[in-house]
Amino acid sequence: MPATPLEIVDLASGYGLTRVIEGLSLKVPAGARLAILGRNGVGKTTLLATIAGHAHRFGGLIKMGGVELSILPADARARAGLGYVPQTRDVFPSLSVEENLYVGLKGRPRQEMEEAFALFPRLKERRRNLASQLSGGEQQMLAIARTILGKPSLLLLDEPLEGLAPTICDELIAALSKLAEKGDITIVLVEQRIEYALGFADNVVIMDRGRIVWSGPTSDLKAQPQTMDRHIGISRLDSRKG
């Protein structure tokens, strides 16, 4: 399945009766790498959860390629090519690494599991281990690998680097970059580790209070420290991470 574009039009969403997202519109081209930045509590996680079908949509449209996602339940969105890795990771702790990955194959031949091992060699070394025996970083690799094995054309990642050591962050970003370079997946990344996010993404949007307050190429944002300071609270980046 080729990479698909994402289009959101005038979205309003939240939980229960509470609106977190209001009047949000966004276009992500097929094969793009988009980072969504912003302070805590501005609606980034809610936006991904709404796209994936895990938050309540009050209004607006969500389109993935030619598919109107808004009317589909979460499992149907996954079958349509949407991959979603939430902050909670959601691996099966009582299953081995191999068994977790087998679930992600969704009926594909078992040998296709090697795609995940090629992307994350650590998982191959620990293929017989239970997921509960993995470190936090390894569990994150497993969660991403299992989702990727379903061959999504659009991948949503919610803070995959949270709480991880820099060496593990480097490995994860390198794997995601390798995946993106194939050109057959669109990746939307929510991330608080700003240096890594800007080193990975081609384009950025910044959210505040459920709306997009800035959007553009990553290079433009890097050249505007005042924008980062105003909306994110950071005005200087570590040059080692781009």
Parse the chain into domains and list their residue ranges. Answer: 6-90+152-241
Architecture of domain 6-90+152-241: 3-Layer(aba) Sandwich (3.40)
C-alpha span between 232 and 223 (Å, rounded): 15
Question: pLDDT digit of tens for each residue in the chain (242 aa)?
Answer: 689 999 999 999 999 999 999 999 999 999 999 999 999 999 999 999 999 999 999 999 999 998 999 999 999 999 999 999 999 888 999 999 999 999 999 889 999 999 999 999 999 999 999 999 999 999 999 999 999 999 999 999 999 999 999 999 999 999 999 999 988 999 999 999 999 999 999 999 999 999 999 999 999 999 998 998 998 887 555 433 43
Of 188, 197, 200, 202, nearest to 228 (Cα)?
Answer: 197
* pLDDT over 90, % of the chain: 88
pTM for the predicted model, two decimal places: 0.94
Listed residue (197, 168, 120, 83) closest to 206, CA to CA: 197
